[in-house]
Amino acid sequence: MADRLLAVLGSYHIAVVLFLLMILLTLVGTFSQKTLGLYESLRIYFVSWMVPREGWLFGFIPLPGMASVLAVMFVNLLAGGVLRIRKNWRTIGNVIAHLSMLGLIAAGAMSLWYKQEGHMRIFEGESSNRVQAFQDWVLEVQEPGGADRSIQIIRETAFRTKSPGETTVFHRGGWPFELKVSGYQRNATITTTGDPSVVPGARSVDGYTLRPLPVSPQHEANMAGVFLDVVDLGGQVVAQTVLAQVIRQGEIVTRGDAPFSFAVGGRQFAVSLTRETWEVPFSIRLDDFKAEYYPGTRKAKEYESQVTRISPDGSETKFRIWMNNPLRDSGYVAYQTSFDDQSPPGQERYSVLTVVKNPSDQWPLYSLLAATAGLMITFLTKLVRFLRRAAVSPSAV
């Protein structure tokens, strides 16, 4: 029974179907980036277990998500390429190669579930240990003068609704209030009620309301907006506000009263809508930034950041970050990804470092090395067998 089950799970027929589905999802997901953008394409086709209705092929053919395909492929490779295969000196290379593919799939799963990624923008002469997410918005709630000053995080996925008319209610232990979030917009700006583009009857607070903006395919360009109602435990509304970003001549600034402060039961709280931020266990100081351009253009040929890594104990280490030469420390990797190319010569510029914490950061490298070793062993064993057969004389045969 067990052998029959392994034969089914590890069959070549399933492997062929899985490879065809991978090719199909890769093609559809890649072409969809032109209209949906990278973030939405990843969400719909590559990190989902089942492709949502809006991503079905031709609008009516359902598709499995890449996560489901890779999960089944993991079982298929394990059953057919590791457990069921005959194990001797002739197949050891094949076993190693299959194990390396399992390692690649496992690395992708670990990255999907546990990877943290954001950016750190540092001006010359300044240092920072705070990383801000590229895409994910959060509501941060804090009691600045309280005994517990920790920041409570409400992620965008929790208050993201299909319709602006829907309301999501949040309450955490110790809060003397409930936080009602409504009017969610993926991309919006605060404007006055006198704005002619505002829909008549739209909700407003103190003469301000949300004006929806076209959703950008580049998810990081979208700026979420919400209405907040603070309701005490007796059901009385004690504070209201609207939170978003304001766009003025292309410059993004926050409202003057953000974070929004309010008092409930004699306690003072603050809430803000911002990109998710977190701290890393070291600081990076930008000592100097250098960029070399192609002659007669403003297109960068190469650029680098000369930084100082400051450990928690105060010790300092000089480091040069440039393309394919990241800084690694405490499980984090800082890559050079962008810089300020608008400031005139002589003015302080900033460098943008992408900071990633990925527990499976080196797994793909190890898996590829194992695959190379497995394929080399397979090739050498076959070569040895061929040479031995060739060395046998015709008379001996």
| pLDDT tens column, 103-113 | 999 999 999 88
> What is residue 72's predicted lDDT score, i.e. its pLDDT?
96
For range 18-39, the mean pLDDT: 90
Containing domain of residue 181, as a range? 133-278
Q: Is 369 helix (H, G, I), strand (E, B) or coil?
A: helix
Whole-prediction pTM value? 0.73
* Lowest pLDDT segment from 47-51, 252-256, 317-321: 252-256
Q: Residue 189: pLDDT above 50? A: yes
| Rounded percentage of the chain residues whose pLDDT exceeds 90 | 50
- pLDDT: which is higher, 179 or 256: 179
Tell me if 397 is assigned to some domain.
no
> What is residue 249's predicted lDDT score, i.e. its pLDDT?
41
pLDDT band at 364 (very low <50, low <70, confident <90, very high): very high
> What is residue 247's predicted lDDT score, i.e. its pLDDT?
55
Q: In angstroms, how far is CA 349 from the centroid of its own chain?
A: 26
Residues 255 and 317 in one domain: no
Residues 262 and 317 in one domain: no
Q: How far apart are CA 181 and CA 194, in angstroms?
A: 24
Q: Which tokens belong to 159?
A: 């208050």
Label residue 183 left, alpha or beta by phi (over 0 means left) and psi (-120 to 50 means alpha).
Answer: left
Tell me if 9 is assigned to some domain.
yes
* Structural domain count of the chain: 3
- pLDDT: which is higher, 35 or 225: 225
Tell me if 169 is assigned to some domain.
yes
> What is residue 396's predicted lDDT score, i.e. its pLDDT?
52
Q: Residue 311: pLDDT above 60? A: yes
Q: Which tokens belong to 32?
A: 């969809």
Q: Residue 173: pLDDT above 60? A: yes
Query: Which among 254, 332, 281, 277 is positioned nearest to 155, based on CA atoms?
Result: 277
Tell me if 71 is assigned to some domain.
yes
> What is residue 256's predicted lDDT score, i.e. its pLDDT?
46
- pLDDT: which is higher, 127 or 218: 127
Residues 209 and 233 in one domain: yes
Tell me if 396 is assigned to some domain.
no
Tell me if 253 is assigned to some domain.
yes
Q: How far apart are CA 145 and CA 354, in angstroms?
A: 33
On average, the pLDDT of the chain sits at 88
Q: Residue 24: pLDDT above 90? A: yes
